[in-house]
Amino acid sequence: MKITNGLIEQHIHGAFGVDFMTCSEDELLNVSEMLPEKGVAAFFPVIMTDNIELIKERIQLIKKTMKRQKDKSAKIIGVHLEGPFINPEKTGIHEKKYILPLEIELFKRIEDNIIKIVTIAPELDFTGEFIKYLKSKNIKISAGHCLASDLSNVNQVAHLYNAMGQFSHKNPSTALSSLINNNIYTEIIADSYHVIDDVLKLTFKIRPENRIILISDALPLAHSSLKESIFAGQKIYNKSGKLVNEQGTLAGSSYLLCDIIKNLTDKQILNFDTAYKMAALNLYEYHNLKDIKNSLTVYWNDFNEIEKIEFN
């Protein structure tokens, strides 16, 4: 048996049938109370590309929910804002009509101190002032849904290989820069759908293990009996664990971090200790979560399945 602290979900859109873009306070509270059973001590709910008024509304709902949280729940640390400041050429399932230019005045319309991570397209910050402003607010800059090759001014990269400039042996790209820059963190969705196993193996060989963050990128269909749902204004289907829209475009994941760890360890891509480090220890250090680190104890049966949890 392995005994660890709880996991940290840095990139999660919902779970258990609940969508963070449409849910009520009670539904978000319920998710926070269910996540510890999956080994999660804390999380950053994602607010994704949408109109400014809805984004503002979601921020306020999350703030109100944070005040209502109980001790025995996964703590909401803050918001991960994924968009609307992304590249229209790399939208994924984000709705293109809501994408905005990287302008400080536009960000100020939604600015709030619970925004901790913002995923943007750095190449569209033509003056560098947008990134400079976010950093002045102690916001972590995430390069994602982008075509950037210069990642020198960001803290991390969103879901490596997905919705970004792809690796080429002849030209610079986001993926290439993500692999060779050891000063930044790289998120990766290791569910074997978003990134195939051989590329996962290669990535874990290339990147320092203390600079990799495992994420679920979970959608509302994760750990839900639903086979389809509306997300980002479109219908998303669960095809045997793979989530796609009507055009077959890969959406987020049906996995949570505990499933990611099981996937990696069952396939012997990583050992448990390394996978756990990437799903928890790296995040405690990255976000300075000393007050949360000992809030949850997770007991793992057979090294990758949760047997029980204890709140501390």
pLDDT digits (tens, 9 = 90+) for 194-223: 999 999 999 999 999 999 999 999 999 999
Percent of the chain having pLDDT more than 90?
A: 95
- Give dist(CA 115, CA 235) in Å, integer: 28
Please tell me the pTM assigned to this model: 0.97
- Give dist(CA 157, CA 188) in Å, integer: 9
- Give dist(CA 233, CA 239) in Å, integer: 19
- Specify the 3-state DSSP secondary structure of 10: strand
- Count Cα atoms within 13 angstroms, Cβ side, for 247: 6
Burial class of residue 169 (count of CB atoms within 10 Å of its CB; 0-12, 13-18, 19+) = exposed
Cite the beta strand spans of 175-288 per DSSP E: 185-188, 212-214, 228-231, 234-239, 242-245
pLDDT digits (tens, 9 = 90+) for 149-188: 999 999 999 999 999 999 889 999 999 999 999 999 999 9
pLDDT digits (tens, 9 = 90+) for 272-284: 999 999 999 999 9
- For residues 42-62, one letter each, b for 16 or more C-beta atoms within 10 angstroms of the residue's C-beta and e for the rest, the string is bbbbbbbbbeeeebeebbebb
Which residues lie closer than 8 Å to 154 by C-beta, 6 or more apart? 122, 131, 141, 142, 143, 148, 184
Which residues lie closer than 8 Å to 131 by C-beta, 6 or more apart? 120, 122, 125, 141, 153, 154
Task: Give the chain's end-to-end CA distance (angstroms, integer).
Answer: 19
Q: What domains, with CATH codes, occur in the chain?
A: 2-311 (3.20.20.140)
Cα pseudo-dihedral 66, 70, 72, 74, rounded to 10: -10
Task: Calculate mean pLDDT across residues 121-128.
Answer: 98
Q: How confident is the model at residue 302 (pLDDT cuts 50, 70, 90)?
A: confident
Which residues lie closer than 8 Å to 20 by C-beta, 6 or more apart? 12, 13, 14, 28, 45, 46, 47, 58, 62
User: If we measure between CA atoms, which residue out of 209, 173, 172, 176 comes closest to residue 190?
Assistant: 209
Task: Calculate mean pLDDT across residues 107-121.
Answer: 98
